[in-house]
A and B are shown apart, each in its own frame.
Chain A
Amino acid sequence: MTVASLFFYLFSVVLVGAAFMVISARNPVHAVLFLILAFFNAAGLFLLLGAEFLAMILVIVYVGAVAVLFLFVVMMLDVDFTELKQGFLQYLPIGGLIGILLFIELVMVLGAWTIAPEIVRVVDAPVIAGIENTEAIGRLMYTKYVYLFQAAGMVLLVAMIGAIVLTLHHKPNVKRQNISDQVARDPKTAVELKDIKPGQGV
């Protein structure tokens, strides 16, 4: 057994265990922390595949931004998850049934798995010598998949518009930041000097 496969099993076992803890942990903060652990292990798996760019993106974007945001929301909202999980068992029979059906399907699918000789060309991903995978991803994204890349940009634009439309309220009595006004303030308008006689107060 090589070192690589040893690490593969290490990362995989921890990943699956952490993923299980995400859904079973009682405390939501613990769940998010386990999610971060799962992300780190997934990043490790990417590294083993030689996709160091994806590994770094996973750590920076998911751990650095998304999971921290999750943690922040979980801490701010103080959602009582035990209360939310009430009645969870009620749906267990039907949910379990669907789960078992899906599992049987997967077993059937994997049992029928054969690799056709003409498909090997796809599995055998072309690694071009002398090109780092960051550059390789960039080339693919901006040439072959430029259409999908732009479409993803449009999806994000719609998400942004949606978030603003649905959440931004214009309240008249809120003090807003107005940088030019704030910078233009001078001591004459901002500070009021009062002449106070000693021993008397304002």
Chain B
Amino acid sequence: MTYPLPDLVPAIPEILLSCGAMALLMLGAFRSKDSTDSIYSLCVLLLVAVGVVVLVIPGGQTTFGGAFVFDEFSRFMKILTLGASALAIIMSRGFFRLEKFSRFEYPILVVLATVGMMMMISAGSLMSLYMGLELQSLALYVVAAIQRDSGRATEAGLKYFVLGALASGMLLYGMSLIYGFTGSMDFNEIADAASLSENKIGLVFGLVFLLAGLAFKVSAVPFHMWTPDVYEGAPTPVTAFFAAAPKIAAMSIFVRTMVTAFPTIAQEWQQIVVFIAIASMVLGAFAAIGQRNIKRLMAYSSIGHMGFALVGLAAGSQAGVRGVIIYLAIYLAMTVGTFACILSMRRGNRMVEDIDELAGLGKNNPMLAFLLAMLMFSLAGIPPLAGFFGKFYVFLAAIEAELYALAIIGVLASVVGAFYYLRVIKIIYFDEPVERFEPMLGELRVIVGVAALFVILFIIYPGPLITAAETAASSLF
């Protein structure tokens, strides 16, 4: 008996990335001492090359019996994820060199986590969603604890692992209920079965558990507890990685699952998404006020931002999904830029993480202070910076979907949230100067510069991003 070979073209990026990661692993294992530097650069090169491949292969294909979908939405999200991972590796190089911590496994694990994220983004069935999620999470647990001699990093890794395993358990339980009630793992078939059946209570229970698992991965309230501790405990470049790429991947599978597998019971999931969006925005705004540690502040900030992105999903429309996509792209630029600034908060031989240490940056390093202030204004969502437009598109979609309460609470939460971003700016410009930081590393300068330029100049030329997001969103409907 012969079987046809499945069409491998849509999966070429994943295949290339996995094979590349394994080849680099061999290189590192056999020439460990002198090859760490070259493995960092080769990993970045690999991610960029795969990004080019993602750009050129034709979209709108499914393969492996529907388990793998490559459409315009996948393409856009994969580009964002690959970019975020590549930037995370570039930013970590200098940090680990200064910390005298050389492990070639770090960039390889980041690449393998990226493979998992791309599998998640392309998942067309519950099983491929789960496999991608586990591949990504497992690599992230290891990366969180990679500085194993530091007690806090180990604690972060362990905490993340235990809570992540719990979330995976809930996800699987939900999937088994959904499978039991629809008889299929495939998103399209689930949608068909859901529209046929009269009694949906079991399916809704399954959906609730699935949402709980996904909400954990995007760190939305009430499944956010791990975020501040893991962000604070993990080494800073790892935190930068956590804040960008995995969030994008998790949010895109969140969107894809809801929109393609459960469009017929949209009423049910919209209620839940509205609730977690409101809870995340409000908690992100209020809990961040008391934070003194900038990494914890960014953790609460990311919780809040995920809430804002979920507002777009709650609308459930094509405009809403477009809003989510634009939001994620802008969030990526702002987060990466801010973390590049945080990574340059270095005095003597060690990193400082207290917000008060930024005092006097406006006098000591006016350029960096200006760029950081722009990023903070943008995170707060103040026009005419990019962050404002991210929020604008999701709230527009929410209002079009007549979710007025959600939009109003969102705007109020963003006003409260602006307080702590503005406090950072106040500390930079108006507090008594303290010592200077060490000079910034070249690659961090470039990243901060590009991110801040993107944020400032987005208003002049927003067209390409919005058109791309439009095409990506329309491929889901």
Residues of A in contact with B (beta carbons under 8 Å apart):
105, 108-109, 112-114, 116, 118-119, 121-123, 139, 143-148, 151-152, 154-155, 157-159, 161-162, 164-166
Contact = CB atoms under 8 A, between A and B. Distances in A.
A18 to B, nearest CB: 21
A112 B204 CA distance: 12
A116 B148 CA distance: 53
Range, interface on chain B: 35 or more
A101 to B, nearest CB: 11
Nearest first, the 6 A-B pairs at minimum CB distance are A162-B142, A151-B131, A147-B64, A122-B183, A119-B183, A109-B202
Contact of B199 (A114, A154, A162, A164): A114
DSSP majority for the B interface? helix
Interface string B188-208: 000001001111011001000
Interface string B9-24: 0010000001000100
A151 B184 CA distance: 20
B142 A166 contact: yes
B161 to A, nearest CB: 10
A166 B112 contact: no
Contact of B202 (A113, A118, A122): A113
Interface in B108-137: 108-109, 112, 115-116, 119, 127-128, 131-132, 134-135
Contact of A165 (B103, B134, B177): B103
Contacts of B64: 146-147
Interface of B: 1, 3, 6, 11, 18, 22, 25, 64-65, 67-68, 103, 105, 108-109, 112, 115-116, 119, 127-128, 131-132, 134-135, 138-139, 141-142, 145-146, 148, 157, 177, 182-184, 193, 196-199, 201-202, 205
Contacts of B103: 165
A158 B1 CA distance: 34
DSSP majority for the A interface? helix
Contacts of B139: 158, 162
B112 A157 contact: yes
Nearest to A114: B199
Nearest to B154: A166
A158 B142 contact: yes
A155 B201 contact: no
Given A151-B132, A162-B142, 17 more contacts: A105-B205, A113-B202, A122-B183, A122-B184, A139-B3, A145-B127, A147-B6, A148-B128, A148-B131, A152-B131, A155-B134, A161-B25, A162-B109, A162-B138, A165-B146, A165-B148, A166-B148
Given A143-B3, A166-B142, A151 B201 contact: no
Contacts, number: 91
B199 A112 contact: yes
9 contacts: A109-B201, A118-B193, A151-B128, A151-B132, A151-B135, A155-B135, A165-B109, A166-B142, A166-B146
A152 B18 CA distance: 13
A158 B109 contact: yes
A158 B199 contact: no
A158 B177 contact: no
A152 B135 CA distance: 8
A158 B109 CA distance: 7
Contacts of A161: 25, 105, 108-109, 112, 142
Contacts of A145: 127
B183 A123 contact: yes
Given A146-B64, A161-B25, A108 B142 contact: no
Given A147-B68, A148-B67, A166-B148, A154 B18 contact: yes
Contacts of B177: 109
A162 B103 CA distance: 12
Contact of B131 (A105, A114, A155, A162): A155
B112 A158 contact: yes
Contacts of B1: 139
Nearest to B104: A165
A164 B29 CA distance: 11
Given A118-B196, A119-B183, A146-B64, A158 B105 contact: no
